[in-house]
Copies of this chain bind each other. A is one copy, B any other.
């Protein structure tokens, strides 16, 4: 039998990848997890201010897809921490491709490059002028 799924759209790897992470938020959550964020609250506090209901739903979907892992890190008020599985970390290459494309073709955008475990965090900018971060 192997894993013979019936694909929703086609057998194309791109189409099926997009069915999992092809929306405006999923990859940003993965980005933040790669950056070392662990708790729901940290994820909700991202620059892009993801709505909390969307965050909750995405975490469930990503967990169901085997991309994130949810584990309790505290007992009494049971709280969970979110981390990436190997499958999730592998999306780093996709993120990288987006970063390179964005930096080269969307003036003013920048990238926070994360070191997988090292914690190195450099900022690189592109074209244009300074951009206002929110106060």
* A contacts, CB < 8 Å to B: 2-7, 9-20, 22-24, 27-28, 31, 47-49, 66, 87, 90-91, 93-112, 126-129, 131-133
Q: Which chain B residues border A131 with CB–CB below 8 Å?
A: 4, 7, 11
Q: Is A102 a contact partner of B17 (Cβ separation < 8 A)?
A: yes
Q: Is A2 a contact partner of B106 (Cβ separation < 8 A)?
A: no
- Contacts A4-B128, A9-B48, A12-B47; A23 near B23 (Cβ below 8 A): yes
Of the A-B pairs whose beta carbons lie under 8 Å apart in the complex, a sample of 12, sorted by A's number, is A3-B107, A7-B108, A7-B131, A14-B27, A16-B106, A18-B28, A18-B98, A22-B23, A23-B24, A87-B105, A90-B105, A94-B97
Q: Which chain B residues border A17 with CB–CB below 8 Å?
A: 98-99, 101-102, 106, 109
